[in-house]
A = this chain, B = another copy of it.
Amino acid sequence: MRKFLATALLGAAAVYAWPATANDGLVSIIKDPKQWGIQTGDYANTRYSKLDQINAGNVGKIQVAWTFSTGVLRGHEGGPLIIGDVMYVHTPFPNIVYALDLNDDGRIIWKYEPKQDPNVIPVMCCDTVNRGLAYSNGMVYLHQADTTLVALDAKTGEKKWSVVNGDPKKGETNTATVLPVKDKVIVGISGGEFGVRCHVTAYDTKTGKQIWRGYSMGPDDEMIVDPEKTTALGKPIGKDSSLKSWEGDQWKIGGGCTWGWYSYDPETNLVYYGSGNPSTWNPAQRPGDNKWSMTIWARDADTGMAKWVYQMTPHDEWDFDGVNEMILTDQQYDGKPRKLLTHFDRNGFGYTLDRVTGELLVAEKFDPVVNWATKVDMDKNSPTYGRPMVVSKYSTAQQGEDVNTKGICPAALGTKDQQPAAFSPKTNLFYVPTNHVCMDYEPFRVSYTAGQPYVGATLSMYPAPGSHGGMGNFIAWDNTKGKIVWSLPEPFSVWSGALATAGDVVFYGTLEGYLKAVDAKTGKELYKFKTPSGIIGNVTTYEHKGKQYIAILSGVGGWAGIGLAAGLTDPNAGLGAVGGYAALSNYTNLGGQLTVFALPN
């Protein structure tokens, strides 16, 4: 009875005995499968866990262990971190952070609630999402919607420093997580639908001081590229590579945003990420290749200097924003061990590159319905080497302004959007949440006003015609062959990030709210559970007191769920996504919950 005095009635912080962690350096946490220190699980972005207590044989028996309401509705992307005995949970705007005690059913140790101007909400293109926190050396990093980067003391929630990365009044916002690398924290920025010229910035983890910033476009020095040493497909990019690919000053409002995922290879000391679509969505307003939008970047972590770049979709005409994650694996390719980078782009091609040199090895469609390009030219001697072979019928540039180009596959949200894939070294397969959606796209002339939408196209989206009727697939992909190994049809886009484990199970969530577990080898469904709301979060696993747990955030939203999240009903609203996903309201509601699963005792 006395215990009520201690646990219930006194303030939490006063009585909480802090758990001792053997070593709280991020690298050791990443190596420890019991913990989950950054959103992507590891620097390589594999989202693979060595835990195998839950495995293909017993996953059918897992049950809900405990749950937690975040107190916020709308789209919940990302997932919790687990450091020692503490779980860190974040929310969409207003970006609350909770430290939860795993020894006490998720009791709240501390809560950090930033004060943010709600005027940032209308300048967020695709819901009020946030892709989560990162941990490093006793600090939890939060990058708020309003672009304030905050370092919180992991034990107390006390703000150690904060720095402002952008200006929401100009349409600069943030939804991405951050990546701590050694003494720096790497952060991106959103605003491709507002004519922001986007960049990647490294801040000092201890002070918040800016160390370097590389833009996606503009003068060489502002991009931190070396005309002679930075290469594209093996050749130096040359002087003014970006400026030459834009008409006039259009690059100054050129987009190329950096709101996706970051990976890091300690051996090469390179940070990898993709840049987004050029602004506007009306290609007629920006002749040229619009470099280096839609590009895979490899930058030195210490200096920001770009080692190589590869532009996947020169002169984008479909909003095939190139920010999806770069998954770093060491695999056999063509009989030789290679340091690979695998990337599932919005444009529907699955790319495999040599991550040291940027050499393009594989570029194949990871959904057979992709029709805007026949293929990527793989002939090293061709003048169009590495470029997609665009089909004029689906070229919104060739069809022209104010023409509604119909039947383009994939839709603007791509064959895959931000929802991250996983890789299992046991199967050598990638597990990819995908969209199976096509679109009509009508570009129109738009003029730029700072802080106002700068979109310039009307879209409508619908399930890939003549297929299984659903809007998504969950697939297993062989990145060395460029082939789908198996594919599971889903009624809606799979907007949740996958997790692969040493137990030969792959987990993912669905927009209707199911957490699903499938066999890593065959794709056979082994378990499903209906969580409170649609899932657009990423599956996480951890071990606590000898037990493996699976954790997932529910809370429908994101671009696919924007109709529900923002209460929109016009089919063309939400940048064209509302109509296609209207049936989602038959399955689920707004939510904001964490559900944690484990095997029964």
Q: Residues on A close to B: CB < 8 A?
A: 1-2, 4-5, 7-12, 61, 63-64, 66-71, 73, 98, 105-108, 111, 463, 468-470, 489, 491-492, 513-514, 529-533, 554-555, 583, 585-595, 600
Contacts and interface: CB of A to CB of B under 8 A. Distances in A.
A586 B16 CA distance: 12
Looking at A11, A492, A530, A600, the one whose CB has the most chain B CB atoms below 10 A away is A530
Contact of A586 (B11, B469, B513): B11
A77 B489 CA distance: 39
Contact of A583 (B8, B533, B586, B594): B8
B4 A591 contact: no
Contacts of A514: 105
10 contacts: A1-B470, A8-B469, A61-B600, A66-B530, A67-B530, A68-B530, A68-B532, A107-B586, A108-B589, A532-B593
Contact of A491 (B7, B12, B70, B491): B7
Given A8-B469, A468-B4, A469-B9, A69 B554 contact: yes
A67 B532 contact: yes
Given A4-B489, A491-B9, A591 B593 contact: yes
A111 B586 CA distance: 9
Contacts of A108: 585-589
A588 B12 contact: no
Nearest to A96: B589
A69 B9 contact: no
Nearest to A470: B4
B532 A588 contact: no
B469 A69 contact: no
Contact of A590 (B61, B69, B470, B590): B69
Contact of A71 (B470, B491, B530, B590): B590
Q: Could you say how many copies of this chain the assembly holds?
A: 2
Contacts of A106: 530
A532 B70 CA distance: 8
A592 B492 CA distance: 24
**Is chain A's binding surface mostly helix, strand, loop or mixed?**
mixed
A69 B589 contact: yes
A530 B104 CA distance: 10
A105 B513 CA distance: 10
Contact of A5 (B10, B68, B469): B469
Nearest to A589: B71
Given A9-B583, A69-B513, 20 more contacts: A1-B489, A4-B468, A4-B469, A4-B470, A8-B469, A8-B492, A8-B583, A68-B532, A68-B589, A69-B554, A69-B555, A70-B589, A71-B591, A73-B73, A105-B514, A106-B530, A108-B585, A108-B588, A108-B589, A591-B592
A310 B316 CA distance: 79
Contacts of A469: 1-2, 4-5, 8-9
Contacts of A470: 1, 4, 8-9
A597 to B, nearest CB: 9
Nearest to A70: B589
A529 B492 contact: no
A67 B595 contact: yes
Nearest to A584: B8
Nearest to A6: B469
A93 to B, nearest CB: 15
A182 B359 CA distance: 79
A90 to B, nearest CB: 13
A257 to B, nearest CB: 30
A533 B592 CA distance: 11
A185 B549 CA distance: 48
Contacts of A66: 529-530
A583 B592 CA distance: 22
Contacts of A489: 1, 4
Contacts of A68: 530, 532, 589
A124 to B, nearest CB: 20
Nearest to A491: B8
Contacts of A5: 469
Contacts of A555: 69
A371 to B, nearest CB: 21
Contacts of A98: 589
Contacts of A73: 71, 73
Question: Which 6 pairs between the two chains have the least Cβ-Cβ distance?
Answer: A69-B591, A8-B491, A71-B589, A69-B532, A64-B64, A69-B533
A68 B106 CA distance: 20
Contacts of A8: 469-470, 491-492, 583
Contacts of A595: 67
A4 B600 CA distance: 33
Contacts of A530: 66-68, 105-106
A588 B1 contact: no
A67 B583 contact: no
A70 B591 CA distance: 7
A554 to B, nearest CB: 7
Nearest to A101: B586
A463 B9 CA distance: 9
Nearest to A1: B468
Nearest to A586: B12
